[in-house]
């Protein structure tokens, strides 16, 4: 399991919730499944992230019931959260592209 790059957990949680309301464990499992277990998220860190996101109004929470009939706190993306996710995704892609370009460079650039 690879440790998570700092600051990416929030974006991952937002992305996860963009598929619909989920409770904490569902989010974890979803993240684990999608990354084929390559992303290591400590469970308590996830809940910290949820608190943080809720505080900033990017997600909101409501009590609901699971299919096994247990009370669970379901989180949903707010419109502010959706906008935030878009911006973060763009940032990440630009950043990742830049880093990839540099890391995979095959020869020294020459002045034109």
Binding stretches for another protein (CB under 8 A):
23-25, 28-29, 42-44, 47-48, 51-52, 54-55, 57, 62-63, 66, 70-73
Give whichever of 66 and 91 is closer to another protein, judged by the CB atom.
Answer: 66
Complex with another protein: residue 18 or 60, whichever CB lies closer: 60
On the CB side of 87, CA atoms within 13 Å amount to: 8
Nearer to another protein, 63 or 111 (CB): 63
Least gap, CB of 62 to another protein (angstroms): 8
CA distances from 49 to 55, 94, 102 (A): 10, 23, 31
H-run or E-run covering 54? helix 43-55
Task: Please report how close the Cβ of residue 26 comes to another protein at its closest, in angstroms.
Answer: 8
Output the six-digit token pair for 51.
């608190």
- Parallel/antiparallel/unpaired status of strands 2-3 and 39-40: parallel
Q: Report, in Å, the least distance between residue 38 CB and another protein.
A: 16
Q: What is the 3-state secondary structure (H, E, C) of 29-43?
A: HHHHHHCCCCEECCH
Based on CB atoms, which residue is closest to another protein, 83 or 93?
A: 83
């Amino acid at each position: 399991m690879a440790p998570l790059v700092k600051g990416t957990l929030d974006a991952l949680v937002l992305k996860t919730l963009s598929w619909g309301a989920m409770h904490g464990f569902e989010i974890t499992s979803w993240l684990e499944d999608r990354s084929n277990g390559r992303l290591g998220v400590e469970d308590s860190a996830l809940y910290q992230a949820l608190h943080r996101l809720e505080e900033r109004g990017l997600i909101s929470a409501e009590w609901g019931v699971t299919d096994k009939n247990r009370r669970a706190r379901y989180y949903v993306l707010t419109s502010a959260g959706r906008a935030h996710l878009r911006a973060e995704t763009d940032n990440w892609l630009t950043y990742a592209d830049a880093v990839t370009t540099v890391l995979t460079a095959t020869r020294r650039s020459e002045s034109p």
